[in-house]
A and B are shown apart, each in its own frame.
Chain A
Amino acid sequence: MNLTEFNAIMLLSDGFGGFGGISQFNKDFLTAVDRSGLVTRTLVFPRLIRQRLDQELPETIVYFRHSAAGKSNYFRQLMRGLRLSSDVHLVICGHLHLLPLAVLAAKIKRARVALIIHGIEAWQPTQYRLANNLVSQIDSLVSVSRFSAEKFSSWSGIETKRAFILGNCVDLGRFVPMPRDTALAARYGLGGHSVIMTLGRLANRERYKGFDEVLEVLPALVKDLPTLRYLIVGDGDDRQRLEAKVKGLGIQKYVVFAGKPSEEEKIAHYSLADAYVMPSSGEGFGIVLLEAAACGVPIIGSAVDGSKEALLGGAIGQLVDPRDLGALRDAIRTSLESKSAHSRSPSVEFFGVPAFQDKVRYWLETEIDASVRTAAMAA
């Protein structure tokens, strides 16, 4: 029986109270840390946070809210937390940019340091030289996909085999197959149409979600399938460019920009789609693919980034190379032709919350063992 305290601190961009994939991962991760029952307490230092959280935190998680107010304040609060907290055994760094502080904290507390990498932020050296140089100091690496770990390895020298692969998870109780929301369909003028959909941030800097590729094959598709509509769900600074592109291609009639839906409306949006298409080239994992798959929507994802792992190498959805527009067109066509009632692939369970929590528990066990071993050796 492990009767000693095992305390962790986690540095992260945001989690509870935040939006987006990384934020969701952090929420799920911290919940799993709490559920494992292995960690006595986790002090969390978020860089960004809304003052009031919309849900109850797991009871062993303590948020240092004051830390989320500028860089110098973050540093001060972290130091205060370190000074006052009892023993800390593990420092978890939730974002590569925060690694210098995480390594410092680990040195002060003589703790192990674990880095979590997600996607594109870790595929190349960051703009911060210090963070890049300190990568060699980590004791443990968690990556959302093997793909990200390989990319990370290519510049950091941290071997891929050292990475613990922990894909995102999807709440299979919440994301469930549902009949098409007719009111929502009417709002977008989609009644009676076949719909393909992509959901994601329209970010000018990233442009890796594959909106462009889908738009490019759309003119050919609508020739054969005039009732087809492309629903783009999400917003961002790239929207104007994409709208111009739609105009340029002369397919305004076939494309709907839905904007960013609320978290509650997200599932209803998935229910509108006959196929979820995301021929991306920069996804570390691609949680939206799994959300859509959990809602029973047929999936077409990318064969060239982390999506391949999210789709279990093709078991959950079709894989296409986004550079091969012909293949993309064929995949969409095949998917729409074999139109069937929404039903969830059983393979999605692999990424369910219980499986995620098991993986986190297993990872923590190895971390605790390593920590005990190190301490025993030091003594």
Chain B
Amino acid sequence: MCGVAGAFARHGTLSPHHQDVVQRINDWQAHRGPDGEGFWTSRDRILMFGHRRLAIIDTGPSGAQPMTDTTGRWTINQNGEIYNYRALRRELEDLGRTFATNSDTEVLINVIAQWGEDGLKRLRGMFAFALWDDQEKELWLARDPYGIKPLYVAEVGDVLWFASQARALAECAPVSPRRDPAALVGYYVWGSVPEPFSWWADIRPVAAGQVMRIRAGGRPPSSRQYYSVSAQFTGAIAEPMSRSMLRTTLRDSVRQHLVADTDVGVFLSSGVDSNVLASLAAPEVKGLKTITLAFREYEGTHNDEAPLAEQAARALGSEHHTVRIDKEEFEDLLPDFFRKMDQPTIDGLNTYLISRVAKKQGLKVVLSGLGGDELFGSYPSFQQIPPLLNMAKAMPGLVTIGRIIQSASRELFPKFYYSKLASVLACSGNILDAYMLRRCVYQLEGLDLILDQQWLEAGLVRLQEARSQDIVLEPLRHASWRAQISALESCTYLRNQLLRDADWAGMAHGVEIRVPYVDRVVLETLGPVIGSSYPLQKSDLLAVPDALPAELSWRKKTGFISPAHEWATGETHAGRQGLKTWANLVPRLMRGSYRPRLRSAASAYQQSAA
């Protein structure tokens, strides 16, 4: 996994000035690839690639990037891993293709050279790449189906800039610092900036599962959605999935995700998802390393993840490390945390902290249990939304009553009006409203105290025009609630928050986080089951390993438990209100408004207040 940077002149050629900017972006992204850097300029000087390398497969010089294939036609600048590269290579060799290296990157080039856009559907992995076709004078930009790996573009005049991190473009390329109102509104609603927007108006992500092709000479670019995650949640499965089939599917994914020429570890919490991963990985890896992050404040309490994780690790026979962090250490890390944060997000802290531990343990690659909840229906949204929608269906007029309650409370009971409770009935009419209510940090109704009317109006218009969630649900018009919620969680929360944060927060320490539950093949196998009358449950997942500590099975899902928000905001019960406070602070802290001078005073205040 690496850092990608570049510039493409749609008209004319690039100058040394452009080269300087690409160099600056590369330097900015240096933490993404501490093992090396590379530059490449096309012969006609219309394209420049900069690359930072985190060497994981074919770690020697032959795996370096940017990489040109043996024919000289294709040059690639890639961030990610292709797990099934060995199988693809054998297939390609049978077709007469030759290879000069042992890297997955060269396989990726040949997949495109052989099969064109259709080749993207054969890839199993996480990737975002820029690929130059010197024969057609065409630049390809593409991202994996889930959007695990990021890629951002900004068009300024005749030059298209691109990079792995939006902030690298914002800070290094000649991009306007203008804020996107949709990003601003989206951030306060969802807690992260929703695609297809970025925090900066002139920077946008290449969409997940999309391939863009841009020709030199100003011909209009084409972009195509080559894969839809939500479309996988359809299908007609007549019977429940057997546990052995589920086990085979997941074991296969874990095996694929272990492909590396370096050690691979596992982030182990007290949750089921990570424990299942570790149990599947343990037989495959000699001396598997497992890592748990714990907090001093929680030692000996129900929230302490360490004891259960340690117990599980003993059962697995893994080399286990529990690292406890305290408030002081946390405060020292915060400035770096906000410097590395790519776009504002209310999450990412735990991933940032645990990736740091992984790095200290000498790990470059770690498996994470992200994505399990989306498949096995274990978020509260799965339990709460369907009954609400069913109730509204059974009682026509409920939504209208809800709207009346909502608008009446605006002036009469404003505190109630700004609470989620006031909107429950009004949001029971359709799944998008209900989902938004479940997930939101701030409701739209409460945003008039947070954002000026002008930002709010402009942002809402842009968000509505993008219709991102309608697009997610389009293939699922007749699907079950369960399938629809799985799709929404996978294509919004997972994509815009969990995966994005896993990328920058892991990369902040040069650690690649791999996500076996977020996998095209797993999705294609489990998706139709999730859409069927026998959707998968957490209990199915629990039955996958031979033995898990019994406590895991009945442990209540604690979600994202960390005292970090409490430490940060000084609020002792950092529930929903704490999250709002945190959401308010993040954009400001991202701008680097640190005041060390005040710290002692502020903490003295907090202690005395507590």
B contact residues around A227 at 8 Å (CB): none
Given contacts A3-B569, A37-B588, contact A61 B602 (CB under 8 A): no
A85 interface residue, CB < 8 Å from B? Answer: yes
Point out the residue from A38, A59, A65, A84 that lies within 8 Å of B593, measured CB to CB. Answer: A38
Tell me how far the C-beta of A268 lies from the nearest C-beta in chain B, rounded to whole angstroms: 27
Contact A2 B599 (CB under 8 A): yes
- Flag if A41 contacts B605 (CB, 8 Å): no
Whether B87 is near chain A, meaning CB under 8 Å from some CB there, is no
Q: Which of A103-111, A121-129, A169-177, A367-375 contacts B (4 or more CB under 8 A)?
A: A367-375
User: What residues of chain A lie closer than 8 Å to B453, measured between beta carbons?
Assistant: 63, 65
Whether A53 sits at the interface, judged by CB under 8 Å, is yes
Within the complex, the shortest CB–CB distance from A18 to chain B, in Å, comes to 15
Would you list which residues of chain A between 1 and 41 have a CB under 8 Å from chain B? 1-5, 36-38, 40-41
- A43–B453 Cα distance when bound, in Å, is 12
- Contact A2/B454 with A40-B588, A373-B601, A379-B608 known, Cβ cut-off 8 Å: no
- A38-73 contacts to B, CB under 8 A, are 38, 40-41, 43, 53, 56-57, 59-63, 65
Chain B, 13-48, contact with A by CB distance < 8 Å: what is the 0/1 string? Answer: 000000000000000000000000000000000000
A84 contacts B414, CB within 8 Å? yes
What is the interface of chain B mostly: helix, strand, loop, or mixed?
Answer: helix
Report Cα–Cα, A49/B609, bound state, in Å. 40
Report B-chain residues with C-beta under 8 Å of the C-beta of A57.
452, 454-455
Q: A40-B588, A63-B453, A80-B414 are contacts. A1–B569 as well, Cβ < 8 Å?
A: no
CA distance in complex: A63, B588 (Å): 19
Closest Cβ–Cβ distance, residue A325 to chain B (whole Å): 50
B466 interfacial by beta-carbon distance below 8 Å: no
From B449, B587, B601, A372 is in contact (CB under 8 Å) with B601
- Residues from chain A with a CB closer than 8 A to the CB of B567 are 3
Give, as a whole number of angstroms, the nearest-CB distance from B459 to chain A.
11
Contact A62 B451 (CB under 8 A): yes
Chain A residue with Cβ nearest B594 = A1
Q: Which of B335, B585, B595 contacts A5 (CB 8 A)?
A: B585
Q: A41: which B residues are within 8 A, CB to CB?
A: 450, 584
Report whether A376 and B584 are in contact in the complex, using a CB–CB cutoff of 8 Å: no
Hey, which chain A residues are within 8 Å of B598, CB to CB? Answer: 1-2, 365, 368-369, 372
Q: How far does the alpha carbon of A368 sit from the alpha carbon of B597 in the complex, in Å?
A: 11
- CB pair A376–B605 under 8 Å, yes or no, is yes
Cα distance, A59 to B592, chains bound together (Å): 16
Asked if A207 lies at the interface with its beta carbon under 8 angstroms from chain B, I say: no
**Are B449 and A84 within 8 A (Cβ)?**
yes
Contact across chains for B452 and A84 when beta carbons are under 8 A apart: no
* CB <8 Å contact, B179 and A59: yes
A1–B334 touching, CB < 8 Å: yes
- Shortest beta-carbon distance, A371 to chain B, in Å? 10
Q: Which residues of A contact B415 (CB under 8 A)?
A: 83-84
Q: Residue on B with the closest CB to A83?
A: B414
Tell me, in angstroms, the Cα distance from A53 to B448 when the chains sit together: 16
> Does the CB pair A376–B570 fall under 8 Å?
no
Interface assignment of B62: CB less than 8 Å from any CB of chain A = no
In the complex the two chains form, is A1's CB within 8 Å of B454's CB?
A: no
Residue B568 CB within 8 A of the other chain: yes
Query: How many chain B residues have a CB neighbour from A under 8 Å?
Result: 42
Query: In the complex, A57 Cα to B596 Cα: how many Å?
Result: 29
Determine whether B360 belongs to the interface, using a CB cutoff of 8 Å to chain A: no
CB contacts (< 8 Å) of A53 on chain B: these are 454
B606 interfacial by beta-carbon distance below 8 Å = yes
**CA of A53 to CA of B455 in the docked complex: distance in angstroms?**
11
B166-203 Cβ-contact flags toward A at 8 Å (1 or 0) = 00000000000001000010000000000000000000
Residue of B nearest to A1 (CB): B594
Interchain nearest-CB distance for B352 vs A (Å): 16
Distance in angstroms between the alpha carbons of A379 and B602 in the assembled complex: 12
Q: Is the CB of B591 closer than 8 A to any CB of chain A?
A: yes
Q: Is the CB of B609 within 8 A of A379?
A: yes
* Minimal Cβ-Cβ distance residue in B for A368: B598
Asked whether, in the complex, the Cβ of B602 is within 8 Å of the Cβ of A4, the reply is yes
Q: Give the distance in Å from the alpha carbon of A62 to the alpha carbon of B448 in the complex.
A: 8
Question: Which residues of chain B are near A59, meaning CB under 8 Å?
Answer: 179, 184, 451-452, 455, 587
Given contacts A2-B602, A4-B569, whether A37 and B454 have CB atoms under 8 Å apart is no
Distance, CA A247 to CA B603, complexed state (A): 70
> B493: CB under 8 A from chain A?
no
Set B184, B418, B449, B608: member contacting A376, Cβ < 8 A: B608
A40 and B585 contact, CB distance less than 8 A: yes
In the complex, are the beta carbons of B581 and A5 less than 8 A apart?
yes
Is the CB–CB distance between A37 and B334 below 8 Å?
no
Which of B418, B452, B606 is within 8 Å of A4, CB to CB?
B606
Given contacts A38-B593, A62-B449, A62-B450, is CB(A3)–CB(B602) below 8 Å?
yes
Bound-state Cα–Cα, A20 to B567, Å: 45
**A55 (CB) vs chain B CBs: closest residue:** B454
B contact residues around A84 at 8 Å (CB): 414-415, 418, 449
B600 to chain A, nearest CB (A): 10
14 new A-B pairs (CB below 8 Å) besides A3-B568, A365-B598?
A: A3-B334, A3-B570, A40-B584, A40-B588, A59-B184, A59-B452, A61-B452, A62-B452, A81-B449, A84-B418, A365-B595, A365-B597, A372-B598, A375-B609
For the complex of A and B, 3 pairs with smallest distance between CB atoms: A37-B593, A379-B608, A376-B605
What are 25 pairs between A and B in contact, CB < 8 Å?
A1-B335, A1-B594, A1-B602, A2-B593, A2-B595, A3-B334, A4-B570, A4-B602, A4-B605, A37-B592, A41-B450, A56-B455, A59-B179, A59-B451, A62-B451, A62-B452, A63-B452, A65-B453, A85-B449, A365-B595, A369-B598, A372-B598, A375-B609, A376-B601, A376-B604
Query: Residues of B with Cβ closer than 8 Å to A?
Result: 179, 184, 331, 334-335, 414-415, 418, 448-455, 567-570, 581, 584-585, 587-589, 591-599, 601-602, 604-606, 608-609
